Structure 1
Amino acid sequence: MESWYLLYCKRGQLSRAQKHLKWQAVNCFSPIITLEKIVRGKRIAVSEPLFPNYLFVLFDPERIHTTTLSATRGVSDFVRFGALPATIPYRVIEELQIHVGETCVDPQTPQPGDTVLIVNGVFEGLRAIYTEPDGETRSMLLLNLLHKQVSQSLDNRQFQKV
């Protein structure tokens, strides 16, 4: 009977495994999300797998043997509970497919109102409140200097979320 299973793929070979499994007429699913984060000081959106190195596959073990899939290029092995490969309920896959493509924010990326610590520059060691992005590589922060709130634009590499 056809069921969903979970494969663990070799590091960096998820797309290779997916391509070879499709040649074997195996339905594959790897949920991709768009993640907003700061990379090298720039706030960007990147698409990446929700579960790196894991691939959901739909097949009938009586038609295609599990060792055939385990021997596929890029695949390491099945995720197992005991000796048998773990089956994934259809409901879980349906729920994941509904949320594919949603944009999320990296927990380390500051949002308006978050407290940040300035890690270098003139204000090093001070805490501030993140207010908004100021272009691609800078952000506006609210500093408390001499009991007065001051708005200051700083490079994204000069602070980190607390």
Structure 2
Amino acid sequence: MESWYLLYCKRGQLSRAQKHLKWQAVNCFTPIITLEKIVRGKRIAVSEPLFPNYLFVLFDHTTTLSATRGVSHFVRFGALPATIPYRVIEELQIHVGETCVDPQTPQPGDTVLIVNGVFEGLCAIYTEPDGETRSMLLLNLLHKQVSQSLDNRQFQKV
């Protein structure tokens, strides 16, 4: 009888392990999400595994996977590999491809701290992105709110 199991793959070799398992006719699944975050000052969307280095596989006990390239070991609880309920896999498959926002990426209304530049040390309110590399912030200067566009590398979410 086939069951879902969880494999731990060697660092950076998830796609290699998946490719080699598919050659062995093993059904593989790794949930991929699109994550919106700021990288090197640019706001971008990046696709990455929800569980880095982990791969769900569906097979029966007659299949051997220990020598597959990229695979490190089965996730175990005790002596036996842990089985994953079908409903968990179905729920993960429903949400594949959804876009999430990195918790460190500021959203409108978030408080940010300006870490360099003319306004260094001031707190501001993030209002909206201003292109790929800049954002609009609301600063409180001399008891007056001023909207200012700053480079994304000049502030961080508090």
TM-score bin, normalised by smaller chain: over 0.9
Q: Deviations over 1:69-106 (max 9, x none)?
A: 12210000000000100000000000000000000000
Superposed structure 1 runs of 4+ greater than 3 Å apart: none
Q: 1:160 to 1:103 in 2, by over 3 A?
A: same
Q: Partner residue of 1:83?
A: 79
Superposition deviation, residue 140 in structure 1: 0.2
Alignment root-mean-square deviation, CA: 1.0
Identity among equivalent positions (%) equals: 98
- Establish whether residue 27 from structure 1 lines up as the match of residue 23 from structure 2: no
CA gap of 1:25–1:31, structure 2 versus 1, over 3 A, is same
Aligned residue pairs, count: 158
Deviation of 1:148 (Å)? 0.7
Instruction: Give the corresponding residue for 1:16.
Output: 16
Residues in 2 aligned to 1:154 and 1:95: alpha-carbon distance in whole angstroms: 40
Partner SS, residue 139 of structure 1: strand
Give the TM-score normalised by structure 2: 0.98
Query: Aligned residue for 2:49?
Result: 49
Separation in 2, partners of 1:66, 1:74: 20
Query: Aligned-pair distance for 1:46?
Result: 0.5
Pairwise CA distance, 1:43: 0.3
Structure 2 match to 1:110: 106
- How much does 1:68 deviate? 2.4
- 1:17–1:8 Cα change, 3 Å: same
Gaps of 5+ in 1: none
* Change over 3 Å in CA distance of 1:113–1:77 after alignment to 2: same
| Post-superposition offset of 1:67 | 8.0
Q: 1:122 aligns with which of 97, 118, 121?
A: 118
CA offset digits 1:130-151 (Å, max 9, x no partner): 0000011000000011111010
Give the distance between the partners of 2:90 and 2:82, measured in 1 at CA. Answer: 17
Q: CA–CA distance in 2 between the matches of 1:150 and 1:66?
A: 68
Cα distance in 2 for partners of 1:75, 1:28 equals: 12
Give the distance between the partners of 1:47 and 1:2, measured in 2 at CA. 30
Relative to 1, partners in 2 of residues 1:123 and 1:66: Cα closer, same or farther, differing over 3 Å? farther
1:95 and 2:91 matched: yes
Q: In structure 1, how many angstroms separate the alpha carbons of the residues matched to 2:66 and 2:103?
A: 34
Question: Distance between the aligned counterparts of 1:158 and 1:79, measured in 2?
Answer: 42
SS in 1 for 2:46: strand
**Distance in structure 2 (CA, Å) of the matches to 1:156 and 1:70:** 46
Task: List gaps (5 residues or longer) in structure 2.
Answer: none
Q: How many Å separate the matches in 2 of 1:155 and 1:131?
A: 13
Q: After superposition, give the CA deviation of every residue in 1:35-86 in whole Å (9 maximum; x if it has no partner).
A: 00001100000100000000000000xxxx5782122100000000001000
The whole-number CA distance in structure 1 between the counterparts of 2:56 and 2:89 is: 8
